[in-house]
Amino acid sequence: MKKVVIIGGGIAGLISSILLARKGIQVLIIEKKSYPFHRVCGEYISNETIAFLQQHNLFPGQHNPATIDRFQLSAVSGKNVVMPLDLGGFGISRYTLDNFLYKHAKDAGVNFLLNAEAEQVVYHGEEFLVKTATQSLHADIVIGAFGKRSRMDVVLERSFIRKRSPYVGVKYHVRAEHPADLIALHNFSGGYCGISNIEDGKTNICYLTHRDNIKKYKSIREMEEAVLHCNPLLKNIFRNADFLFEKPEVINEISFETKSAVTDHILMAGDAAGMITPLCGNGMAMAMHAAKIVSELVIRFCEDKHFSRQQLEAIYTQQWNRIFSQRLWAGRQIQKLFGNAWASNVAVNLAIHVRPIANTIMRNTHGDGF
């Protein structure tokens, strides 16, 4: 029986593990935290995922995710436009979704090594040796699903990790008078903020800012009042919301650089393979789609002795690039329209007066059902 080790228990890692374990493959996930826990994330999922999730009994309907079908875009000045979202999506927290998937994984027979990190992965003679601080694990396949930035990126000497990234992500959950069907993207100087509802009538606030904004002020809250509040829509949200966290969730050095789908024979999935800019609101859907692709190919590798590792890696890279590389590129280009007064105003005016362009942008950063 083939053994698979998955490094990272986020969406891509959990869904991959479930699909593999249901096929009788031995799977172990190494996750540095214990469920449930929060992650810095926009917590909006495109409806392109629903058919796939329902097919595998993984749609979290019992948690009553928010149904989202409108999009609001505002410039730094507060000038804004509201548009329909043709495909739409739903909102659910990572705290709830990841724990939901974790329980399904446990039910499928996935083993977990929690509160642990992979420190080294060595490939030799068609087998992997994965080392943590306390264990050495053998595997036929290793899937890297360790998120935006990890110790493993450094260990593997991935090229993007050597480049400093200026971006910091900050997230809150709040109680606010935010329309349940609306996802908003509000610009401010040096960044942008996404706001949308999740389960239980709560609202997720997640923004990306340049590290210079953080360095300039004594605290995140002081920076928010000086910078984010210049957009009157953001000021209204922050002033009137009931904040549910004692302190925000924060992640530094968020990179949108090109990454590889396979590194040292490790199959990368989710943000470990490539991260779409948050303004596109589609990272969670991409992680689910990547989990589908990688698990189907790993199942084939485990069941078909004529399907070689070389074929597995080549086909996975080809499929990943075909499905995702254009969307990642489009996200990087669109991001240039956000985070300053002039460019964000241009983006809002385009959305108001040239609606086909706005619709084209949305289509280029979202996929079809899978």
- Chain segment 251-263, per-residue pLDDT in tens: 988 878 889 999 9
Give the Cα separation of 325 and 254 in Å (integer). Answer: 18
Which two tokens mark 133? 């601080």
Residue 133 backbone phi and psi in degrees, to 5: -65, -25
**Range from 14-28, 180-194, 352-366 that averages highest in pLDDT:** 14-28
Encode pLDDT of 275-301 as tens digits.
Answer: 887 766 689 999 999 999 999 999 999
Q: Estimate the crossing angle of helix 326-335 against helix 355-364, to 10 degrees.
A: 130
Give the Cα separation of 188 and 19 in Å (integer). Answer: 41
The answer to whether residue 26 sits within a structural domain is: yes
Give the Cα separation of 315 and 310 in Å (integer). Answer: 9
Q: Are the beta carbons of 53 and 97 closer than 8 angstroms?
A: no
The answer to whether residue 29 sits within a structural domain is: yes
The answer to whether residue 369 sits within a structural domain is: no
**Which region among 51-55, 221-225, 260-264, 322-326 has the lowest average model confidence (pLDDT)?**
322-326
The answer to whether residue 221 sits within a structural domain is: yes
Looking at the structure of the chain, the number of domains it has is 1
CATH at residue 184: 3.50.50.60
* Structural domain containing residue 134: 3-364
Residue 364 has pLDDT above 70, yes or no: no
**What average pLDDT does this structure show over 243-254?**
92
**Helix (H) or strand (E) run with residue 361 in it:** helix 355-364
The answer to whether residue 370 sits within a structural domain is: no
173: nearest Cα among 339, 40, 35: 40
State the Cα angle at 149 between 253 and 164, rounded to 5°.
Answer: 35
The answer to whether residue 15 sits within a structural domain is: yes
